[in-house]
């Protein structure tokens, strides 16, 4: 490498000159690396004397790859430019057309700025899926979707009707989704990205998951795929974008390449008007240990930089802020001459030979095919560290007055005829004057050189992309039959929690021949809380470096066992990262053709409340697997208080269209649900996923009553009838003869039904006894495992009935189940009342609900349950009140029970507003 001699700027002083000559000598005789070492030593000496030195996390504001190191461009760049121009046109036309007759929106300017970044990838780097290669995994910027569709149109994968129906998915014949949504276009899109920040985060965990699969011998490839993630510079403000950078460098993820499209703008205006986003990001990435490649200036600048011996051009480049650069992209060349170069007379001379128009056309690096190619090639070959390419572009490039570099660029969806003509001229699109106002799509003929070139490139690279394929072999696992879980159906007299039951169940599953290798336990630093540390020794914690130290607990049975082919993904304290691993594992059946079964267990409070958008994305991307919200329940997790006690995660879970949300009470329910989940997802291939609450209260687990499996799965079944109680009754006295405390005679035939979920079913069971013993009420206790599923089924029937008014009405499961039941219905839950309220419209004569609305408190379970009114006594009162409301008992009785059971009727209602 030759290093050019440049004077230290502003020299003339003796010291500077002598230092410079020593430096030049060292460079000549010792070479750059040794010189750098010497300089570092000297700098360390200065630092040791407490001198503040500039920190070394920025390089000059020029391209990282100097022109002399640029590889020759292997393609036909003029051909590629023509192809890119047609794609630009169609991407724009798609949005303009859609918005000429509708107001469905769409974005032109994101793709306009990123076209070269994508096209160099499509023509030279992105490898498609082949038999022994899963394909490179490309995360496209969501707002660039029109460009990706436009390319698929040129490739012949989409036709005009698709483009015509961009953002009109419900139109006749179907249309294209606004953004990358695998749920909506399951054969096209692989990775949803449009919720800013999630794509970048997922890409890091995907890259690491690929390594995990490989080291565990499950990946089927001869060459490792690359993960390419395209990121907006505005998107980099999302904490999810930069939050996990160090994981990527720590794990040496050289299979990961990010391209940040630094068009200097986001939606409202500049990303860093007063600074430089590229320099800011460079420092962040370098500090995080990434390889950083800046692509700032196009080839036209090479000559100017080479001729600038004064260093003033670089100085000016570094002085100007992004707000200035945005202005230069909007104004004519004369403005840039005056304001940028004109600041120093020497710089004006440097561009004397250029016309204003030539100055205006001085390109940014991200629009220069050769510069982008050089950066991609270097990133592709870089070893040991992930690479980020910071590419400078212009937002809305090519849109001219319609939106190039304007603050309104992001929202621009329309172009008038004049603007269309200018666009056509700039990009040389063969569309005639008489039709241009209709913005017709343009596809070169099948035998044109452009189409041939484009198809040949994709063929050489292994096929089209994006493309999502689910091979038939990647579902249809040999899942265990329900009787594999027989031990859970027997019940146990020892007191255990549902969390402990789950831990037992996963260890049983880990011994199943057909499945054990496919299981991926994921934990965000809570294994000990849940008792999962029992797995450390058996299956190990995945660590790409193995264990380089002797763990402090190496003598103990459950020592912290990190190993290269460990099975557990111990993520540390990152619910967002853990969800990303869940998603990578849960979509492995599609991305790799290898079905993996994630079990992600975490503090239920830090589920959808914390990372709900990733839950939503898991549905969109068709992830499968089990989410286990442990330490669940606002009163069951005692002591921990307001921030930890979850009484609502089931509500957001109920909003997720493909998520089955369960609130099981007993070990056998968990076994039935998980066995069926395995069957539905991994044998039948359904694209659904599961959420189960797990609690930490210990109680004896009853044996499974016969014939309840269907009810467990559908959401409700009778667990213990009142008749059983009246026969056995804790007093042994038939309720008909019971005298109420205080001598009030019981009314004959009083009937109630209490729905309980999770450990709160024990409140229902105790209330059942009190009601029988003291108030002559026979109550059946039901286990409500899923209000969400009951509600969805009921809504489906109701809607069908409405649309088929003359047909025999359908009856939902919950209606059928309860149709013949007499008496009143009460639900008691460790969740907010709104959870059971979901089924209230379908419960005969209405539903009285008890739940944990309001902030949690630190206290004992007993006091919390009284506070939230979900204990047995409160359940009794609610049942009697429901009976009183129906006129079946006297209101006096309710008042008396409140007193007898020691409940303070004036206590606060914990929900504030």
Ligand X SMILES: Cc1ncc(C[n+]2csc(CCOP(=O)(O)OP(=O)(O)O)c2C)c(N)n1
Considering only residues 195 through 214, tell me which ones interact with ligand X, judged by CB under 6 A.
Answer: 195-196
Question: Beta strands 256-262 and 562-563: pairing type?
Answer: unpaired
What is the smallest separation between the CB atom of 196 and ligand X, expressed in angstroms? 4
Which one, 266 or 413, has the nearer CB to ligand X?
Answer: 266
366 near Mg ion, rule: CB under 5 A: no
263 near Mg ion, rule: CB under 5 A: yes
410 near ligand X, rule: CB under 6 A: yes
How many of the chain's residues bind Mg ion (CB under 5 A)?
5
What is the smallest separation between the CB atom of 398 and ligand X, expressed in angstroms? 14
194 near ligand X, rule: CB under 6 A: yes
What is the smallest separation between the CB atom of 597 and Mg ion, expressed in angstroms? 38
Of the listed pieces 233-241, 280-288, 357-365, 805-813, which binds Mg ion according to CB under 5 A?
Answer: 233-241
Q: What's the gap between Cα 413 and its chain centre? A: 28
Q: Which of 119, 233, 687, 869 binds Mg ion (CB under 5 A)?
A: 233
**Which residues sit opposite 685 in a β-bridge?**
none
Which one, 134 or 365, has the nearer CB to ligand X?
Answer: 365
SS3 (DSSP) at 564? coil
Longest pairwise C-alpha distance within the chain: 113
Of the listed pieces 79-87, 226-234, 279-287, 668-676, which binds Mg ion according to CB under 5 A?
Answer: 226-234
Which one, 313 or 391, has the nearer CB to ligand X?
Answer: 391
322 near ligand X, rule: CB under 6 A: no
367 near ligand X, rule: CB under 6 A: no
Which one, 233 or 620, has the nearer CB to Mg ion?
Answer: 233
Alpha-carbon distance of 767 to 872, in angstroms, equals 5
Whose CA is closest to 20, among 44, 3, 33? 3
Helix (H) or strand (E) run with residue 828 in it: strand 824-828
**254, interface contact from Mg ion, ligand X, none, CB < 5-8 Å by kind:** none
Going by C-beta distance under 8 Å and a sequence separation of 6 or more, which residues neighbour residue 436? 417, 420, 421, 424
Which one, 326 or 786, has the nearer CB to ligand X?
Answer: 326
Alpha-carbon distance of 700 to 703, in angstroms, equals 10
**143, interface contact from ligand X, Mg ion, none, CB < 5-8 Å by kind:** ligand X
Alpha-carbon distance of 142 to 267, in angstroms, equals 14
**875, interface contact from Mg ion, ligand X, none, CB < 5-8 Å by kind:** none
DSSP states along 326-344 = HHHHHS-HHHHHHHTGGGS
Question: Beta strands 716-720 and 777-784: pairing type?
Answer: antiparallel
411 near ligand X, rule: CB under 6 A: no
Supply the DSSP symbol for 677.
H
SS3 (DSSP) at 832? coil
What is the smallest separation between the CB atom of 58 and ligand X, expressed in angstroms? 21
What is the smallest separation between the CB atom of 233 and ligand X, expressed in angstroms? 5
**425, interface contact from Mg ion, ligand X, none, CB < 5-8 Å by kind:** none
**Which residues sit opposite 522 in a β-bridge?**
569, 600
Of the listed pieces 213-221, 266-274, 377-385, 436-444, which binds ligand X according to CB under 6 A?
Answer: 266-274
> Which residue's CB atom is positioned nearest to ligand X?
232
Whose CA is closest to 437, among 412, 417, 415? 417
Q: Cβ–Cβ contacts within 10 Å for residue 500, how many?
A: 18
Please measure the distance between the N-terminal and C-terminal CA atoms of the chain and give it in whole angstroms: 69
How many of the chain's residues bind ligand X (CB under 6 A)?
19
Which one, 326 or 377, has the nearer CB to ligand X?
Answer: 326
151 near ligand X, rule: CB under 6 A: no
Considering only residues 265 through 324, tell me which ones interact with Mg ion, judged by CB under 5 A.
Answer: 265
Considering only residues 867 through 886, tell me which ones interact with ligand X, judged by CB under 6 A.
Answer: none
Site string for ligand X, 89-128 (x = CB under 6 A): ---------------------x--x---------------
Contact criterion met (CB below 8 Å) for 868 and 635: yes
Of the listed pieces 262-270, 446-454, 537-545, 851-859, which binds ligand X according to CB under 6 A?
Answer: 262-270
Site string for ligand X, 772-811 (x = CB under 6 A): ----------------------------------------
What is the smallest separation between the CB atom of 119 and Mg ion, expressed in angstroms? 18
270 near ligand X, rule: CB under 6 A: no
Which one, 136 or 235, has the nearer CB to ligand X?
Answer: 235
Alpha-carbon distance of 581 to 600, in angstroms, equals 9
498 near Mg ion, rule: CB under 5 A: no
Which one, 265 or 498, has the nearer CB to Mg ion?
Answer: 265
Q: Cβ–Cβ contacts within 10 Å for residue 765, how many?
A: 21
Supply the DSSP symbol for 164.
H
234 near Mg ion, rule: CB under 5 A: yes
403 near Mg ion, rule: CB under 5 A: no
What is the smallest separation between the CB atom of 408 and Mg ion, expressed in angstroms? 14
**Which residues sit opposite 291 in a β-bridge?**
387
Whose CA is closest to 109, among 234, 23, 205? 234
232 near Mg ion, rule: CB under 5 A: yes
Whose CA is closest to 146, among 445, 462, 432, 413? 413
SS3 (DSSP) at 723? helix
Which one, 114 or 522, has the nearer CB to Mg ion?
Answer: 114
Contact criterion met (CB below 8 Å) for 523 and 630: no
Alpha-carbon distance of 765 to 771, in angstroms, equals 10
Alpha-carbon distance of 407 to 424, in angstroms, equals 23
What is the smallest separation between the CB atom of 247 and ligand X, expressed in angstroms? 21
Pairs from 483-490 (Cβ < 8 Å, separation ≥ 24): 484/508, 484/512, 484/675, 485/671, 485/672, 485/674, 485/675, 488/667, 488/668, 488/670, 488/671, 488/701, 488/704, 489/668, 489/671, 489/703, 489/704, 490/703, 490/704
Q: Which of 97, 216, 266, 316 binds ligand X (CB under 6 A)?
A: 266
- Chain residues binding ligand X by CB under 6 A are 110, 113, 141, 143, 194-196, 232-235, 261, 263, 265-267, 271, 395, 410
- Chain residues binding Mg ion by CB under 5 A are 232-234, 263, 265
């Amino acid at each position: 490498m030759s290093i050019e001699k440049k004077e230290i700027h502003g020299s003339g002083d003796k010291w500077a000159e002598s230092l410079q000559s020593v430096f030049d000598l060292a460079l000549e005789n010792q070479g750059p690396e040794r010189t750098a070492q010497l300089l570092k030593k000297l700098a360390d000496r200065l630092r040791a004397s407490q001198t503040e030195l500039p920190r070394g996390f920025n390089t000059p504001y020029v391209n990282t790859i100097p022109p002399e190191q640029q590889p020759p461009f292997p393609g036909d760049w003029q051909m590629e430019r023509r192809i890119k121009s047609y794609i630009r046109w169609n991407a724009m036309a798609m949005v303009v057309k859609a918005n000429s007759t509708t107001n469905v929106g769409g974005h032109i300017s994101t793709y306009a700025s990123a076209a070269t970044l994508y096209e160099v990838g499509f023509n030279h780097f992105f490898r498609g899926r082949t038999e022994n290669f899963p394909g490179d995994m490309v995360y496209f910027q969501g707002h660039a979707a029109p460009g990706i569709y436009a390319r698929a149109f040129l490739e012949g994968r989409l036709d005009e009707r698709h483009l015509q129906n961009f953002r009109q998915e419900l139109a006749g014949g179907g249309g294209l989704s606004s953004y990358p949504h695998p749920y909506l276009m399951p054969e096209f899109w692989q990775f949803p990205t449009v919720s800013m920040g999630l794509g970048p985060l997922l890409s890091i965990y995907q890259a690491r998951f690929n390594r995990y699969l490989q080291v565990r011998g499950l990946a089927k490839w001869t060459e490792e795929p690359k993960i390419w993630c395209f990121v907006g510079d505005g998107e980099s403000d999302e904490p999810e974008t930069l939050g996990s950078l160090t994981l990527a460098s720590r794990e040496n993820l050289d299979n990961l390449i990010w391209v940040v499209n630094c068009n200097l703008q986001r939606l409202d205006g500049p990303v860093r008007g007063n600074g430089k986003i590229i320099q800011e990001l460079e420092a962040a990435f370098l500090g995080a240990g990434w390889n950083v490649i800046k692509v700032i200036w196009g080839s036209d600048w090479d000559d100017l930089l080479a001729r600038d011996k004064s260093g003033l051009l670089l100085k000016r480049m570094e002085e100007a802020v992004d707000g200035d650069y945005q202005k230069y992209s909007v104004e004519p060349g004369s403005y840039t001459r005056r304001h940028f170069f004109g600041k120093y007379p020497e710089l004006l001379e440097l561009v004397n030979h250029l016309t204003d128009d030539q100055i205006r056309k001085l390109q940014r690096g991200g629009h220069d095919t050769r510069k982008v190619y050089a950066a991609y090639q270097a990133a592709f070959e870089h070893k040991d560290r992930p690479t980020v390419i910071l590419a400078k572009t212009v937002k809305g490039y090519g849109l001219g007055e319609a939106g190039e570099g304007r603050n309104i660029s992001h929202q621009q969806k329309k172009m008038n005829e004049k603007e269309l003509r200018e666009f056509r001229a700039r990009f040389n699109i063969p569309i005639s004057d008489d039709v241009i106002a209709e913005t017709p799509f343009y596809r070169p003929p099948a035998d044109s050189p452009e189409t041939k070139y484009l198809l040949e490139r994709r063929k050489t690279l292994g096929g089209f992309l994006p493309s999502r394929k689910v091979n038939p072999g990647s579902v249809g696992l040999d899942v265990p039959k329900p009787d594999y879980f027989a031990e859970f159906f027997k019940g146990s007299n020892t007191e255990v929690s549902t969390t402990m039951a789950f831990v037992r169940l996963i260890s049983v599953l880990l011994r199943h021949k057909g499945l054990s290798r496919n299981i991926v336990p994921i934990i965000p630093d809570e294994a000990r809380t849940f008792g999962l540390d029992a797995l450390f020794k058996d299956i190990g914690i995945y660590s790409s470096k193995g264990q380089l130290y002797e763990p402090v607990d190496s003598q103990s049975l459950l020592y912290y066992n990190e190993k290269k082919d460990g099975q557990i993904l111990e993520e540390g304290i990152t619910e967002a990262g853990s969800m990303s691993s869940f998603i990578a594992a849960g979509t492995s059946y599609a991305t790799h053709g290898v079905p993996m079964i994630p079990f992600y267990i975490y503090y239920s409070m830090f589920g959808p409340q914390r990372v709900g958008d990733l839950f939503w994305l898991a549905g969109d991307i068709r992830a499968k697997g089990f989410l286990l919200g442990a330490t669940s329940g606002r009163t069951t997790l005692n002591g921990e208080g307001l921030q930890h006690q979850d009484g609502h995660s089931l509500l957001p879970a109920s909003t997720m269209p493909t998520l089955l949300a369960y609130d099981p009470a007993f070990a056998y329910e968990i076994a039935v649900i998980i066995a069926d989940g395995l069957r539905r997802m991994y044998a039948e291939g359904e694209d659904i996923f599961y959420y189960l609450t797990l609690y930490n209260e210990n109680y004896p687990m009853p044996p499974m009553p016969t014939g309840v499996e269907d009810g467990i799965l559908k959401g409700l079944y009778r667990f213990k009838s009142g008749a059983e109680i009246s026969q056995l009754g804790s007093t042994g006295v038939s309720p008909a003869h019971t005298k109420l405390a205080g001598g009030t005679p019981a009314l004959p035939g009083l009937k109630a039904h209490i729905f309980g979920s999770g450990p709160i079913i024990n409140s229902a069971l105790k209330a059942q006894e009190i009601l029988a013993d003291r108030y002559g009420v026979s109550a059946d206790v039901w286990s409500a495992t899923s209000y969400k599923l009951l509600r969805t089924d009921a809504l489906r029937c109701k809607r069908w009935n409405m649309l088929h008014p003359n047909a025999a009405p359908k009856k939902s499961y919950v209606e059928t189940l309860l149709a013949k039941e007499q008496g009143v219905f009460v639900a008691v839950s460790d969740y907010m009342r709104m959870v059971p309220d979901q089924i209230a419209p379908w419960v005969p004569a209405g539903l009285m609900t008890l739940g944990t609305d309001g902030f949690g408190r630190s206290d004992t379970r007993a006091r919390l349950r009284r506070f939230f009114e979900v204990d047995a006594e409160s359940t009794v009162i609610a049942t009697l009140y429901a009976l009183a409301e129906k006129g079946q008992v006297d209101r006096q009785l309710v008042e008396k029970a409140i007193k007898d059971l020691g409940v303070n009727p004036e206590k606060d209602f914990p929900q504030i507003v």
